[in-house]
């Protein structure tokens, strides 16, 4: 007769095996994650399931081969499963790290989102070192969307974010805090270097859509001179950014008037 304890053990292992199959399919379908760790764990549990099955039917087929098979499957299954658990712990760390990155990154551009920039700010605040905060606002995004489609508008935003990221390099952290708004937290350096970075960003962004009345407006503030909270620094940088936008708008109007005068 079958022993109830052995039946329970077999059913438990079988349920675990079924659960692992479902978990493997779920992570691959929902998250796009695929790993050999699941396969190793599956093989370990499968071997243990075979061993418990043979152990359960041992009263019916009590042969030397069955006894040897039980020992081999139990031993090998346990070893493989332990190896899988070790690999699984490392895999879990990688998954957690990936989700942490997704939580602070803008999915479209790959730069930090608002939450990510707040974390960066807290690090600088904790170290109590001066830094520049630069607010960037892309011009004519709506015009690009209306005239050329949202796909081109998205390309404009992604292209601008790459330019900002490449220009600041290892000296700063870039975040997208709105549809067409970016923030840079820039390590403290010579003001001439800050002006050079700002000028280079302006020039490069303008070249994405030259002669289409596009570009980028920037303003910056200095911690702690212009404020000791993120909101205060953004407010000061915002005001300077809008001044820059008005200045650029006035220059554009003058250029249009000059063009009309020459045509006459």
Ranked by mean pLDDT, the top range of 82-96, 99-113, 154-168 is 154-168
Q: Encode pLDDT of 2-35 as tens digits.
A: 578 888 888 988 898 888 777 777 666 555 555 6
- Domain containing 32 equals 4-102
Q: What is the CATH number of the domain that holds 198?
A: 3.30.70.270
In a domain, 87, yes or no: yes
- 176 located within any domain: yes
pLDDT beyond 50 at 193: yes
Neighbouring residues of 165: CB distance < 8 A, sequence distance ≥ 6 = 111, 174
Query: Does 238 lie in the same domain as 129?
Result: yes
pLDDT in tens, 122-136: 999 998 889 999 999
If one counts the domains in the chain, the total is 2
Residues 69 and 165 in one domain: no
Confidence (pTM): 0.65
Which of 80, 102, 124 represents a domain boundary (last residue)? Answer: 102
CA angle centred on 29, ends 23 and 30, rounded to 5°: 85
Q: Which of 126, 132, 125 is nearest to 190 (CA)?
A: 132
CA distance 245 to 25: 52
Same domain, yes or no: 157 and 250:
yes
Q: Are residue 201 and residue 252 in the same domain, yes or no?
A: yes
Asked if residue 107 belongs to a domain, the reply is no
Domain boundary residue, one of 81, 102, 123: 102
């Amino acid at each position: 007769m079958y022993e109830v304890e052995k039946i329970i053990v077999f059913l438990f292992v079988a349920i675990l095996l079924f659960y692992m199959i479902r978990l493997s399919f779920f992570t691959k379908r929902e998250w796009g994650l695929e790993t050999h760790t699941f396969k190793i764990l599956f093989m370990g549990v499968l071997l243990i399931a075979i061993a418990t099955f043979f152990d359960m039917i041992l009263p019916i087929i009590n042969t030397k081969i069955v006894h040897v098979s039980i020992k081999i499957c139990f031993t090998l299954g346990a070893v493989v499963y332990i190896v899988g658990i070790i690999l699984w712990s490392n895999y879990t760390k990688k998954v957690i790290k990936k989700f942490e990155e997704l939580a602070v990154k803008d999915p479209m551009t790959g730069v930090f989102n608002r939450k990510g920039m707040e974390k960066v700010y807290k690090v600088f605040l904790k170290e109590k070192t001066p830094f520049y905060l630069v607010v960037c606002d892309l011009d004519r995004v709506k015009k690009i969307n209306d005239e050329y489609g949202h796909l081109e508008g998205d390309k404009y935003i992604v292209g601008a974010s790459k330019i900002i990221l490449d220009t600041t390099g290892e000296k700063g952290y870039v975040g997208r805090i709105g549809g067409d708004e970016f923030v840079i937290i820039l390590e403290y350096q010579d003001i001439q270097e800050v002006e050079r970075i700002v000028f280079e960003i302006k020039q490069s962004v303008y070249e994405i859509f030259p002669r289409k009345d596009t570009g980028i407006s920037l303003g910056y503030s200095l911690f702690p001179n212009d404020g000791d909270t993120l909101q205060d620094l953004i407010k000061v940088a915002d005001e300077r950014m809008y001044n820059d936008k008005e200045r650029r708008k006035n220059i554009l109007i003058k250029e249009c008037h000059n063009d009309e005068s020459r045509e006459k």
